[in-house]
Each structure stands twice: as C-alpha cells, then as structure tokens.
Amino acid sequence: MDSSMASAGGSGDESSQNLNNGRKTSYKRLTAAQTTKLERFIKDCPHPDEAQRRQLAIEIGLEPRQIKFWFQNKRTQIKNQHERADNTALRIENDRIHTENVTMQEALKSMLCPACGGPPCLEGEREHAIYNMKLENAHLKEEHEKVSRLLSRFLESQMISPDQFPQGFFPIIGSSSNAAPVGNSLNQVIDGTPSHDPNVALQVMDSGHNSYASDCIEKTLMFKVAAAAMDELVRLIRINEPFWVKSSTHDGKLNLQLENYAKMFPRTSHFKGANVRVEATKESGIASISSVQLVDMFLDSEKWVNLFPTIVSKAETMKVVERGLAGNRSGALQLMFEQMHVLSPFVQPREFQFLRYCQQIEEGLVIADVSFDSFQQKISTFHSWKHPSGCLIQELPNGCSMITWIEHVEVDDKIQTHQQYKDIIGNGIAYGAERWIMELQRICERFAAFYVEKIPDHDSAGVINSLEGRRSVMNFSHRMLKIFCECITMVDGLDFPLSDLENGGGVKVSIRESRRVGQPSGLIVAAATSIWLPLHYMKLFEFFMDDNNRAQWDVLTCGNQAHKVAQISNGIHPGNCVSIIRPFIPSENNALILQESFTSPMGSYVVYAPTDVATMSSAINGEDSSLLPVLPSGFVITADGEPNPNAALGAFDTSDRLGGSMLTVAFQILASSDGTNMPNRRAGAAVNSLLTSTILRIKDALNCNNLE
C-alpha cells in the first residue's frame, strides 16, 4: 500500500494533501482512484461513522485515521465554497437594491406638487401642515412688529459720535475687537448718516422674516448701546468738571450738573410726571480684592447677589452675547436682570433689565451698565431706568483695587416713599455710589475672614476647631442674611393691611408658600415695619449687640439670659461678626441661635434665626450647610441724617450723623408645615402681634415709650 501511494505522489486533489493537518504522523498523497472513490462516497454519506471509515479504509487501501482527516478537510472545503457563493449572491442583491434606492430618491427630488410647486404632501398631513404654517406666519408677524417698533425708537434718538466731543476729552483706549460690525444694511441705518425713514427698518426686517434675523438685529443694537454707554461712562469717570461739582454742604459729595451733562449727552426722558427724579452719584474707594476676581463676580449673577446681599435681592443672566477675553474678560457683554432693595418694606424695590459690558482701557477695567429693552420684552414694566453707570477697577500693587463708581438712574416714584426715607432715597444714600463702595469694602473684609488660614483663639471658644467648620458656619450665616434681605422686600406674597398704612406707615404682612431648598417647607408669614427712634444709630446697634439686653427683646430666649457659644469676627468693627448663641431655657436644651451682625456709616444689620444643636453641629463639623433650613428675622438700623464723609469704614463717632435713627423690624414664622392648618388672616395677626409686642419691649428698654 505504501509503495502504491508513493508512485502516485504527483496526482490527486490539492485539498487532499497533508491529511493529518499538521500532526507529527506523515502520510503519502492519495491516488486519483482513491480520491475519486472518496468523493463519490462523501456525496452519499458526508459524516461516516467509525465502522464505515474502517470499511472504506480496507477497500481503498488507507488507514482509518487518514479517512477521518480527509472527510474533515473535505467538509470544511465544501462549506467555504458555499459561503463564498452565498456572499457573492448577497453582494449582487445589495448592489441592486442600493441602485434602486438611489433611483427612487432622485425621482422623489424631481417630483413637484401640481398645486403649489413644492414637495408633495399626503392628504392626511395637508390640514396639519396648513395649521403649522398659519402659526408660523402669526409668529413672524409678531416678531416683525416688535423689531420694527424697537428699531423706530432707536432711530428716533440720535447719538453723538466721538468726533463731536471737544478736543479736551480723551478717547477710550482699549480693545475694539467687540465693536459692532459694519457693512450690512442695518449698521448703515444705525451707524451711518442717512436715514430716519421708518420704511428702512421695515425693509431690513422684510429681508429675513425669522427669529434669526431678529436675534442678529438685537445683538447689533446691544453692541451699539453698550459701546455708547461705555464711552459716556469713561468720560464721566475721567472728568469731574464741568460734569461733577462738589456739594456746598459739609459732606463734599460730587453732584452731577444735569445742564452740563445734557449738553454733552442729550437724550429724551424715559418717564413723565411730577414723581420723576434723577439720582446721580460718584464715589471712590479701595477694596481688598483683585480686579480679575471682581470682574468675575460682576459677570456671574449668583456671585453678584452674594457680593451685595444687602442691595441686590435677585439677579439673573438672561443672555450672554459675548464672553470676552480669557482672564480679564475684556469685551464681555451680557443682558442681565436685577432687583434691588434696601432698608425697609416702605422703600420700593427697583428692577432693571440692563446690559453689562466689560472693557479694558488704559487705566484699568471698566464695567458699564445701561438699561435695555429686549425684543422678548413686550411691554416695559420697570419704573426705573439706568443711564450709563458702573465702575472703573484699577489694580493696586498690594492685591487691592481702587474702585471709582458712578450710579446714574431715572426713577418714576409712583408709589410714595415713607416720609422718613425720602431724603435717604433722594440724596442717593440708599442706592448711591457711596453705598455700593462701602458694601463692597465690608464684604471684602468678610472674604478675608473666610479665607483666614488659622482660627483665632478668641473666635473658636473651643467650639469651632476646623477651618472647614468655620467656613461652613459663615456660609450658613451669609445665606441667612440673603433670605432676610429678600424677605423685607415684601414682593413675594399678599400684603395684609392689618395696621394703618397711611403715608406708607404701619405694619406690612406677607404670606407665602415655601418649597425652596434651605428654608422650612410650608406656610411662612413675614411681618415688617419701620419706626423712628430719637437715638444715634450706633447706640441702637450696641443695644442689640449687648448679650445682657437680649432677654428684653428676643422672644426666643423666653425672657432668660443668653451667652455666646462661639464667635467669628469678619470685619474691623467688633460688632461685625457671626455668633452662635445659647439661651438659658430650663425646659429646652436643644435651642441655639445663629446671628450675623455688621455696621457701617450707611447702616447696621442684626440678623438671627433659631436652630437646633444637630443642625448647627453639622455646620460646625464642616458639612455642606446649603441645605440646612433657616428662617431669619432681624433689624436694620439707618441714621436719618447725612453721613460724615470723613468717617471711614470701621471708624465711628457719635457725631458723624445728626438726628435719630430709623429702625426696621422684620419677623418670619412658620405658620403651618402643610399650608392648611392656619387661616391666612389668623397667621398674619399672629406675626403682627409678635412684631408689635417686640417693638414695645424695645421702646421700653430704650426709654422711648413716650413717643407716639
């Protein structure tokens, strides 16, 4: 058998070679006759059993092992052949289907609707398509009317170009990369010499009946208004006379000469009537913060509220038009909203929708604010208009900044302010540049205390032993202050005239349903009022800061004494601090009071809230305090006279103001956790009674009960 296989070494099928498939045992090639017989057999029986393989091996003269390997290899070869054939057939079918698909798509593209000349629409979709087109058409008409109306308003007021200013006025030196683009039809209307024809605005709008065109026009107007505001603000900052003249009184404040101002920056008034007034103030001061940090806070609405919690109660960034350069944010432009409120529920909040524009100039960074009517705002509901205002921030070598601030607003005071606050509001004490500067200086001192690297021994009192705990308590207290300042605006609920509100006096009560994180859930009742006392504002502040007097006015102590468990200093004045107070209540060992107090020549605040040991312990241990519930009450103390300009922050003298003080008292209570147990009027009466009784106790302690 071996010799016959050797003689046929060159014959046989190539697939029959190496039957052992790499095994060590080697076999000689099959003859043509053996291969033919095997192939004939495999057609009838592709999977022979062992007996069949032995029988076949005897018949053709091979070993059973060779027969087994040959059948395995042959089956694999046949399987591969079938797979190749199937793949070829599938590929041909796929090419055919793809060709048909391309042909059908081309045919669909060339099809036209015989009625409108557009792509065909199925019968069931026709009515739906017509309805959608009518809605889109109505929307486009509304956009067209809004943009046309706003364009007409802007085209009516001619802005003076920089060429028209006298030689003595210096141009702005800074980046111009974010100036309004030129070259299109809209910019030729706004920036060029021609045309106050209202049809031009309509032609501009007719060229693009869509929201994209509206956005482009609005963005161009934003840059135009912001650039003009920046130019005006820089000139007002750089030049005092003839715009700013020192007051003849002892305070030496800079007053804006409206006649000289109107000659250089002519504009129409935004409000009309006997109650319209203009407030314009300018002030400078040094704050311990870098210019880059300060600009970042100005351009972040959340940080903006945290920076000025006693002035800005709400803020929102409505649109970011340009982010500006990395680092100093020069060129940044955004549309913002803010609600401002100070001092008393009888001082009306102010709301502004304005553009905030940042620009690097030769002296430093300038932040310019100016009111702006957005296209999305159908009707202007604001009673205040911000003319170009803002500040120049100059970096100093010691990490501080010199701030020059200008605040220039036009106010329509339709709701008469309380008589005692008219001078404070009208003279710019409440919302003027001096208040912004002093509040910035105070909050920068607080920042310095927040980032202190070692806890002072007199601050910890053995209670707060970690920097994380100190910062968590300070964050908790700062959030408490923000909630209190927002509470006294009295705009989130229904006012209850429980007392005589003639001339803006009496007690104002509001009731709101709270579901906000960080406040107790349920029905919250707030009451606030302001009274005049014939005492210096520092005397009042010292009264509330004296622990020995707390039992005379604080109902949380139940008439018992209290002592400070811990104190965190956050300013130059010893009264600027965060305190944790424990009242001596025999029946209650879990009660604590969190309090923040601070004072400045512009006003003093004492804000406090009840809490418990578990809540305060989590903050002291450094845990996140942003979710801890707090419901603050407190006092705002304001002198009713003019501040002494020589009284720097932290330097207080009983002679720096004349007259008495205005004391605002505000309380909040959780009337019901489910909002249904106590009727609104009963809840309002309860907190009103609490507030009035507290005022009586304060007057009694201060020997002021003989006042009407």
Q: In whole angstroms, give the CA distance from residue 439 to residue 304.
A: 12
Where does the pLDDT of residue 166 fall: very low under 50, low under 70, confident under 90, or very high at 90 and above? very low
* Paired tokens of 592: 């604590």
Of the chain, the percentage scoring pLDDT greater than 70 comes to 73
CA distance 688 to 696: 12
- Using 50, 70 and 90 to split pLDDT, how confident is the model at 489? confident
Torsion sign (Cα): 477, 478, 481, 487? negative
Residue 186 has pLDDT above 50, yes or no: no
Q: Is 314 helix (H, G, I), strand (E, B) or coil?
A: strand
Average pLDDT, the chain: 77
Model confidence over 429-441: pLDDT tens digits?
Answer: 788 899 999 999 9
Each residue's pLDDT tens digit, 200-230: 444 444 444 456 666 778 888 889 999 999 9
Distance CA 295, CA 328 (A): 7
Which three-class secondary structure state does DSSP give residue 131? Answer: helix
Contact status, residue 527 vs residue 507, Cβ threshold 8 Å: yes
Taking alpha carbons only, the member of 442, 417, 403 closest to residue 342 is: 417
Instruction: Give the pLDDT band (50/70/90) at residue 128.
Output: confident
In the prediction, which pLDDT does 16 show? 44
Burial class (CB in 10 A: 0-12, 13-18, 19+), 51: exposed
Range 132-451 classified under CATH 3.40.50.1100: no
Let me know: does 632 contact 609? Beta carbons within 8 Å: yes
pLDDT at 418 over 50: yes
CA distances from 633 to 108, 610, 649 (A): 72, 9, 25
CATH of 2-80, one of 3.10.20.740, 3.20.80.10, 3.20.20.140, 1.10.10.60: 1.10.10.60
The three-class DSSP label of residue 50 is helix
pLDDT: is 648 or 113 the higher one? 113
**Type and span of the H or E element at 74:** helix 64-109
Comparing 33-47, 51-65, 89-103, 649-663, the range with the smallest average pLDDT is 649-663
Domain 2-80 shares a fold with domain 132-451:
no
How far separated are the first and last CA of the chain, in Å rounded? 137
- Quick one: tokens of 55? 């029988």
Give me the pLDDT at residue 12, please.
41
Residue 24, pLDDT > 60, answer no
Residue pLDDT, tens place only, 222-266: 899 999 999 999 999 998 888 888 876 656 778 888 888 888 887
Query: Tokens at residue 464, please?
Result: 């707060």
pLDDT of residue 703: 86
**At 183, which amino acid appears?**
G
Residues 667-698: tens digit of each pLDDT: 998 887 764 555 566 777 788 888 888 998 99
pLDDT band per the 50, 70, 90 thresholds, residue 663: very high
For 324-362, write each residue's pLDDT tens digit.
Answer: 888 889 999 999 999 988 878 888 888 899 999 999 999
Q: What is the pLDDT of residues 286-308, one digit of tens each?
A: 999 999 999 999 999 999 999 99
Q: Was domain 454-700 assigned CATH 3.10.300.10? A: no
Per-residue model confidence (pLDDT) at position 379: 44
Asked if 270 contacts 410 with a C-beta cutoff of 8 angstroms, the reply is yes
Directed axis angle between helix 211-238 and helix 123-156, to 10°? 20
CA separation for the pair 298, 223 (Å, rounded): 18
Domain ranges of the chain: 2-80, 132-451, 454-700
pLDDT tens digits, one per residue of 576-595: 999 999 988 777 778 899 99
CA–CA dist 651, 444 (Å, integer): 17
Better-predicted residue by pLDDT, 544 or 521: 544
- Torsion angle of C-alpha atoms 567, 570, 576, 577, degrees rounded to 10: -20
C-alpha span between 99 and 102 (Å, rounded): 5
Give me Rg for the CA atoms of the chain.
Answer: 41
Q: Where are the beta strands (DSSP E) in 226-378?
A: 244-246, 254-256, 276-287, 312-322, 333-340, 350-360, 365-371
Distance CA 99, CA 112 (A): 22
- pLDDT of 705 over the 80 cut: no
Q: How confident is residue 408, by pLDDT bands cut at 50, 70 and 90?
A: very high
The Cα-based distances of 478 to 64, 308, 347 in angstroms read: 93, 11, 23
